[in-house]
């Protein structure tokens, strides 16, 4: 069964392919020729819902969308919902964040990744939600290549010697905000794959 993951970010699409059941045929916005939906809200949950509905209505497919970001305590929760728009590229986003935090001591570099997940029926009328979070700190410099975005800067509480990008894929997906959100929604996704539909 095809499930549209409403993203054009190939790193995020790969994570979904790893996290979802093998029976799910994951397609992305690029695969179905749809432009990236707007993110009209200042909350992760409402942005995820808007993207899921827009993707579903445009494609006629069950659509999974997430809105996620890095929230740094010392910055009042920024970059937050603006994480992907903080600077033009992943590398520039990391550089900008480190520059802002350059005088922030290690003990005040607390942060968390937040993920809001939404699954929309093809007609956009039924919406199912889940959330995931991972707490940690911001490293002094990027480390690791197994990740994207802010992963090379984020040290999760459960692995205090490694950034997310230094972890093996299975461990990274176990700890990540996106992995936790998907696991909370997995019973619904498995039912959808088995029955071909979900009731609200």
Which residues are the active-site residues?
67
The reply to whether omega before 9 is within 30° of 0 (cis) is no
DSSP for 162-178 reads S-GGGS-HHHHHHHSHH
Helix or strand or coil: residue 149?
Answer: coil
Total length of the chain: 200
> Pairing relation of β-strands 25-28 and 2-5?
parallel
Structure tokens at 183: 């696991």
Apex CA 156: angle with CA 12 and CA 153, to 5°? 65
Contact (CB, 8 A) for 110 and 74 = yes
Strand partners, 27: 4
Helix or strand or coil: residue 34?
Answer: coil
């Amino acid at each position: 069964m095809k499930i549209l993951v409403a993203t054009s970010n190939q790193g995020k699409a790969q994570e979904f392919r790893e996290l979802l059941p093998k029976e799910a045929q994951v397609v992305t916005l690029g695969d179905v020729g749809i432009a990236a939906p707007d993110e009209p809200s200042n909350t992760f949950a409402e942005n995820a819902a808007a993207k899921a509905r827009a993707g579903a209505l445009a494609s006629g497919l069950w659509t999974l969308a997430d809105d996620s970001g890095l929230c740094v305590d010392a910055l009042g929760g920024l970059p937050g919902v603006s994480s992907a728009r903080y600077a033009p590229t992943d590398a520039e986003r990391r550089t900008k964040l480190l520059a802002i935090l350059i005088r922030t001591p290690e003990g005040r570099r607390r942060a968390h990744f937040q993920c809001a997940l939404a699954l929309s029926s093809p007609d956009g009328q039924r919406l199912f939600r889940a959330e995931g979070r991972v707490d940690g700190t911001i490293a002094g410099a990027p480390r690791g290549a197994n990740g994207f975005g802010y992963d090379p800067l984020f040290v999760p509480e459960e692995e205090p010697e490694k950034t997310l990008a230094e972890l093996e894929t299975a461990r990274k997906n176990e700890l990540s905000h996106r992995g936790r959100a998907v696991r909370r929604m997995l019973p619904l996704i498995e039912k959808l794959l088995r029955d071909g539909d979900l009731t609200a």
